[in-house]
Structure 1
Amino acid sequence: MEQRLTGPEVSVEAVVHEGEVGFTNITAKLVQDTGHPVETGHTVPADLPAATADALREAIARLAAAVGFRSGVLHSEWILVDGVPHLVECAGRLPGGGITILIDLTYDTDILANLLRVLTGEGPVGPLTARRGSAVRFLIARPGVVESVTGAERAEAAPGVAELHLSVAPGATVRTTVSSWERAGLVVTTGADAAEAGRRAEHALSLIDIRTAGGER
């Protein structure tokens, strides 16, 4: 390791057709402040200075050219150090972590249909305008045996909530969150912009209480 990078994390999702980058989205990420920086939330579109967003778009174009990526969705993750993007990893696939849902909600699009469009040679997918903001926040429960899960109905009825999923129930064993598999659920929200969507997601998340043996969340 030459250097440890410290800064906000983002991902870039780009629809590429015959080597040309078309529709591009930038996702802001939240991660655990532990030795296991598992993602705890995503927000679309990322609220970044114009210069930083432009630098990421330029970087994804260089990345696509450097690896010879032809057609598909290129999903890449970056750390921003003083506004400068540094590549963490990339993959020629749709993103996980609910980002596809956020893209569809934000841009009134269908990212899977866009992927199929470029893969079947129907043509490129150009830039799209964000119609609203959207966010996903993940539930992180205290390790132990789940005694009760409450507040889901209130959270689902909260402003802006589009989806809510729980992956634990009473009797389940919750382990320390060292990967995305240990997260206890998620809530997806929309708002007039990314900031409002994020606030709504945090509010809905706060309404859910997961109690485990040995303590409460």
Structure 2
Amino acid sequence: MGFCVLCFRACRRDFCDVCEAGFLEAQLQGSRRFGKLHSTDVPILSSYAYRGVCRESILACKSQGFRRLGPALVRRSLTCESLQERLGQCDVIMPAPSSLWSRWRGSLDLAMMLAQGLADAAGLLVCPPPRSLSFRWYKQALRDHSQRRGVFRSHQKIYDASYFEPHTPTPLRSARLKVLIVDDVVTTGHTLSELAAFFKHVDFEFYTLASAVRPGKDHAC
């Protein structure tokens, strides 16, 4: 007998029955693809709505340092059939970059934990995002998401597919290099789309653990 990694009730799995029911309530039916980034036609796949137990788990992992929650969330995400399909098509995984504020606070990099867990499960390698102080600074400084569109690109050089070479197999699974960009929560999608815009001759898939986009809310996806 163990304990729930979130509420510490006695249970035999990662999450107790109460928390498990919360995840099922927040689960997007059929792993719904909820929109497209403004700079690409590729839709974002998200497993859960950012609410209830799902939101509580992500915040506890990122802000409170509940390290056991990270692997548990990875295992929970792997139950998504659409995600399994994407993992089978991609060559390399890249996490979305965290902000300087998050790193200064010492918060856990959940996007990196998620990317590493998915990569281990799929037998892929993780390629870290470009190290750019300006990217991470503007990610935090521009609180209004509408201000972020295009601003990262002016502070970042354009990379090409060779950036991923140390992390990709030979031969590739498809005609062109395909990268799965992973993040914990998506709101407007600007971080993902700006990151994808840095690279030439690369195809992208997008996966986020949870979506904070609400029906009827104006967003970039």
Q: TM-score, length-normalised on structure 2? A: 0.27
Higher RCO (CA-CA < 8 Å; seq separation 6+): 2
More helix, by proportion: 2
Larger radius of gyration: 1
Q: TM-score, length-normalised on structure 1? A: 0.27
